[in-house]
Structure 1
Amino acid sequence: MASKVLGGLAVAVLSAAAWFGWMGWDTEYDVDPVTQSASGPYQAWQVIGCGVTLLVLLVGALLLGVTAPVACVAITVPFTAAWTTTAAATDDSGLFVVGAVLVFLGLAAATTVVSAVTVALRRS
């Protein structure tokens, strides 16, 4: 029991660390010199790297014995909290709340699907 709790806590810490390590530090938008259109602040490589990190973290946790519900919550909640903390600090409009809900729902759906597939493959 204690190892499962520690496993869940480790997943939670690593999930938040994935946000800060891949994207939480980048707050600058890029402006195209020709069109003057802004994009960012994140580059594709950051989003892909973060997604792959969370995927490896989730599958690894499941294979090491963390239960699917614990692993899903331990990725979704801390990552969303880390994202929300960063977004709230730079948003004057309050729209970060909409983003936080979307991050939460997207991660909850993705972790549920990946967990179901991983558990099914492991049982077969």
Structure 2
Amino acid sequence: MPEADSPSQRLLRLTGWVAFVVLGTSGAWFITYALLPWELGYTYDPATGEGHGPWVPWQFLVCGILILAVAVTTSRSRYWPTVLLLPPALTLSWSVIVSREDMTGLWMIGLIYMMFASTVGTLFVLAVTRSFRELRLQRRSSLQSQEPPTA
């Protein structure tokens, strides 16, 4: 029978998962930002007076895939509640960049949207991942109970 983890081992594992979620999420945002071509900047249409940001669609895709990987990996672990640190980590990372670049002050509205959307997305991924995990465990236990005993 395996020995139970000591409190210090559990704390160390919990700290590792917290670091994985926070650093993985922030890293996904900052890596994606670093991939931004430097020659792109805000462009302004003189006819409408509207500015268009330097973001390109593939950046959102790359960032989304990296964050999804962090969320799914964490949601499958024993320390799945740590995935709830993903929305604040993403929102803080996003606001560090956007608050410096926004000249209108509307980044605070974006902050609310970012926090809401990342929370909803994280809860959805958590629910789906945990549901699949439970179904898999139920299926495994039902298959094991159907096997005839060996003599």
Answer yes or no: same fold by TM over 0.5: yes
**Contact 1:29–1:39 at 8 Å: present in 2 too?**
yes
- Corresponding residue for residue 83 of structure 2: 71
Q: What amino acid does structure 2 have at the position aligned with 1:11?
A: V
- Percent identity, aligned pairs only, is 23
**Contact 2:74–2:82 at 8 Å: present in 1 too?**
no
C-alpha RMSD of matched pairs (Å): 2.4
Alpha-carbon shift at residue 24 of structure 1 (Å): 5.7
Higher alpha-carbon Rg: 2
With the length of structure 1 as denominator, give the TM-score of the two structures: 0.83
The higher relative CO (CA closer than 8 Å, separation ≥ 6) is in 1
Q: Which runs of 4+ in 1 moved over 6 A?
A: none
**Contact 1:24–1:86 at 8 Å: present in 2 too?**
no
With the length of structure 2 as denominator, give the TM-score of the two structures: 0.70
Q: Which runs of 5+ in 1 are unaligned?
A: none
Alpha-carbon shift at residue 63 of structure 1 (Å): 2.1
Distance 2:43 2:101 in 1: 16
Distance 1:114 1:88 in 2: 28
Question: In 2 relative to 1, CA 4–28 (structure 1 residues): closer, same or farther, beyond 3 Å?
Answer: same
Q: Which runs of 5+ in 2 are unaligned?
A: 1-9, 136-151
- The question of 1:8 aligning with 2:21 is answered no
Size of the alignment, in residue pairs? 120
**More divergent stretch after superposition (76-85 vs 4-13):** 4-13
